[in-house]
């Protein structure tokens, strides 16, 4: 930690593996040296507060101008190295933030960064028209990172303040906590919500859930299409008629006494207990070591990456979070003035 002027610089050594999947750019790069940046607010493509880019390691930072969250710049560095910085002002309880992205053209020339900080302009209302016979039923509506639980009245339910985004839309008839549980499931793929919208579900679109084994101490969630996360499905499989190869099951185990969370992603719902919770020991798991030092008033972060020997991935990025704070809350947690998040390629 670096102390000065009552400011403490904290490097949170959270080296998370962030995988850049095969995202399809809205506007692909036009040349091999062009980088396209897409920013959004909770999935809604829109401009960030500030976006800068740097060509190579020693180039100057250049301010970029974007339209609908789309920015472009050209990399001339012989090694194809480039850096991006996306800054946001303080927003509600969130401190000022800067996200850094550092990679090579050979790894990716399309960068997607969501800055959060959504406003009413980044949200829309979805009206769901139901077939007859569902009045007074509760719906569970999952879209992108949000969820709503409207009631059906006069064959209609209204889900307000959903993100303006493109993602798979998942709708349950019934709720995990209701007496009848989840009765029907509908999935609309690649749904675009760019303004207030009305949809009509038919009985053919609603499929019965498929029961599955409930595992002791292991939670199960769905990750539909890689973006929409569904909870409350510990003993339910994605209906076979609706499942896609892009859908995953998230299997999780939390040990709060030892302070860790263990997660696995699987394409198919396990037929037997997926892993023995008693055998999980964080000390035996592979590590990505992170160390920090201060050189001429600059923070230097050194990462020794773990090679997972995984195939089929385009790029692996290591995420490090650090920031400035000058006070702590009643629980001893830092109250950041500025928080930084750096994505560093392997």
pLDDT in tens, 15-24: 343 433 334 4
Residues 222 and 162 in one domain: yes
**Which spans in the chain are helix H?**
none
Please check whether residue 170 is in contact with residue 224, taking contact to mean a CB–CB distance below 8 angstroms: yes
Residues 137 and 87 in one domain: no
The pLDDT-based confidence of 346 (bands split at 50, 70, 90) is low
Residues 155 and 91 in one domain: no
Residues 159 and 109 in one domain: no
Residues 133 and 262 in one domain: yes
Is the predicted pLDDT of residue 26 greater than 80, yes or no?
no
Judged by average pLDDT, the poorest of 10-14, 74-78, 124-128, 154-158 is 10-14
What pLDDT score was predicted for residue 122? 95
Q: Please give the tally of structural domains in the chain.
A: 2
Residues 251 and 309 in one domain: no
Domain membership of residue 52 as a residue range: 2-118+301-345
Percent of the chain scoring above 90 in pLDDT: 65
Mean pLDDT, rounded, for 182-192: 97
Is the predicted pLDDT of residue 134 greater than 90, yes or no?
yes
**Neighbouring C-beta atoms of residue 67, cutoff 10 Å:** 11
Nearest to 292 by CA among 304, 283, 284: 304
What pLDDT score was predicted for residue 22? 36
Residues 146 and 201 in one domain: yes
Residues 101 and 153 in one domain: no
Is the predicted pLDDT of residue 304 greater than 70, yes or no?
yes
Residues 124 and 203 in one domain: yes
Say what the pTM is. 0.81
Residues 238 and 326 in one domain: no
């Amino acid at each position: 930690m670096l102390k000065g002027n009552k400011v403490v610089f904290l490097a949170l050594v959270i080296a998370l593996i962030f995988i850049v999947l095969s995202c399809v750019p809205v506007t692909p790069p036009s040349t091999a040296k062009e980088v396209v940046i897409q920013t959004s607010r909770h999935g809604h493509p829109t401009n960030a507060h500030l976006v800068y880019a740097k060509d190579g390691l020693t180039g100057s930072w250049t301010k970029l101008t974007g339209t609908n969250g789309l920015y472009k710049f050209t990399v001339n560095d012989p090694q194809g190295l480039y850096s991006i910085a996306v800054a946001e002002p303080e927003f509600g309880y969130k401190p000022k933030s800067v996200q850094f992205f550092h990679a090579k053209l050979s790894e990716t020339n399309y960068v997607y960064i969501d800055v959060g900080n959504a406003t009413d302009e980044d949200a829309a209302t979805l009206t769901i028209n139901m077939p007859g016979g569902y009045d007074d039923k509760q719906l569970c509506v999952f879209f992108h990172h949000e969820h709503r639980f409207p009631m059906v009245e006069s064959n209609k339910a209204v889900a307000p303040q959903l993100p303006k985004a493109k993602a798979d839309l998942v709708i349950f008839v019934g709720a995990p906590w209701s007496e009848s549980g989840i009765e029907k499931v509908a999935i609309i793929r690649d749904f675009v919500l760019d303004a207030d919208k009305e949809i009509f579900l038919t009985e053919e679109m609603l499929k019965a859930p498929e029961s599955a084994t409930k595992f002791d101490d292991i939670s199960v969630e769905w990750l539909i299409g890689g973006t929409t996360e569904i909870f409350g499905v510990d003993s339910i499989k994605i209906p076979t008629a609706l499942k896609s190869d892009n859908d995953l099951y998230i299997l999780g185990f939390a040990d709060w006494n030892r302070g860790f969370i263990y997660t696995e992603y699987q394409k198919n719902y396990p037929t037997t207990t997926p892993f023995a919770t008693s055998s999980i020991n964080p000390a035996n798991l592979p590590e990505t070591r992170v160390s920090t030092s201060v050189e001429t008033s600059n923070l230097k972060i050194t990462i020794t990456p773990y090679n997972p020997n995984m195939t089929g991935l385009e790029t692996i990025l290591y995420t490090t979070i650090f920031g400035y704070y000058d006070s702590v809350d009643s629980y001893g947690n830092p109250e950041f003035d500025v928080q930084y998040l750096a994505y560093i390629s392997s």
